């Protein structure tokens, strides 16, 4: 892997990891493309290139909280792609997990 690609990946990942600082209940999320989605999902009916899956919240307080966290992750992804279009090829298959110390 080239040094430039490693630096790009590090920047993109750092920007998305910042969501954990804003959402202490967020413990995990995964970004996938259509090919990475579960087999039971009808890919033909989906619009978009990237999908947020496997969101883990604790404590989980209901649908409104989940929707807010989902929207915050989506905003972060949209911003990073707008500023760094190469993120479209770097993000699929990435899992983001809160680091516990």
Domain range enclosing 67? 3-97
pLDDT score, position 94: 94
DSSP structural state of residue 4: H
pLDDT score, position 78: 93
Number of compact structural domains in the chain: 1
88 close to 25: Cβ distance less than 8 angstroms: no
Buried b (16+ CB within 10 A) or exposed e, 3-39: eeeeebbebbbebbeebbeebebbeebbbbbeeeeee
pLDDT score, position 79: 94
DSSP structural state of residue 89: H
pLDDT score, position 37: 87
Q: How many residues in the chain? A: 101
- Mean pLDDT for each consecutive 10-residue tract of the chain (101 residues)? 81 92 96 89 85 95 96 95 92 92 62
Per DSSP, the residues of 5-53 read: HHHHHHHHHHHHHHHHHH-TTEEEEEEE-GGGS-TTS-GGG--SS-EEE
């Amino acid at each position: 892997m080239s040094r430039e690609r490693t630096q790009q990946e590090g920047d993109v990942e750092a920007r998305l990891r910042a969501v954990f600082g804003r959402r202490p209940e967020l413990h995990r999320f995964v970004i996938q493309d259509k090919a990475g989605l579960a087999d039971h999902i009808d890919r033909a009916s989906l619009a978009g290139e990237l999908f947020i899956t496997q969101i883990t919240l604790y404590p989980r307080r209901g649908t409104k909280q989940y929707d807010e966290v989902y929207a915050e992750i989506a905003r972060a992804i949209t911003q990073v792609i707008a500023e760094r279009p190469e993120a479209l090829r770097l993000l699929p298959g990435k899992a983001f997990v809160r680091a516990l110390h």
